[in-house]
Amino acid sequence: MNIPEATPAETVRAFLKAMAVLDYDSALTLIADTCEYENMPMGKVTGPAGVRSVLEPFFAPTLENEFRILRELASGNIVMAERLDRHRLATGWVELPVMGVFEVENGLITLWRDYFDLATIMGKWPSAAA
């Protein structure tokens, strides 16, 4: 899925599209081995395996996901995406405003930081994922 000729913004959008349907195998081909991923209120991991170790358990209770990009700014290899992340659980939809910062080199995400309010999501998330 890695497309080196894609713009950084296209790479980020392709990653989010694959993650919306929980296609980890496709999504993680867009993550560099040295990628630093940090959920700012939670911690930092490295590379595709690190990203998967955070996202797979978190998304386990979701029936459907939607990542709406509300605003996007790209400058060189940096992409900033203000998003509304929506997750459908057995109890209904949960929405989380997120600000994501990405750096992309040669079609691979090399840095990803998401900023959000942890209390906004955890108060509505199943306790197994907490």
CATH number assigned to the domain comprising residue 64: 3.10.450.50
Residue 63 lies in a domain: yes
Q: What is the number of structural domains in the chain?
A: 1
Residue 104 lies in a domain: yes
Place of tokens 């996202």: 55
| Beta partners for residue 73, in sequence order | 80
User: 39 is in which domain, residue-wise?
Assistant: 8-129
Active site residues: 85, 114
**In the prediction, which pLDDT does 3 show?**
65
Tens digit of each residue's pLDDT, the chain (130 residues): 666 689 999 999 999 999 999 999 999 999 999 999 998 878 899 999 999 999 999 999 999 999 999 999 999 999 999 999 999 999 999 999 999 999 999 999 999 999 998 888 877 888 644 4
The answer for residues whose C-beta is within 8 angstroms of residue 15's C-beta and 6 or more apart is 27, 30, 31, 109
Residue 120 lies in a domain: yes
Residue 14 lies in a domain: yes
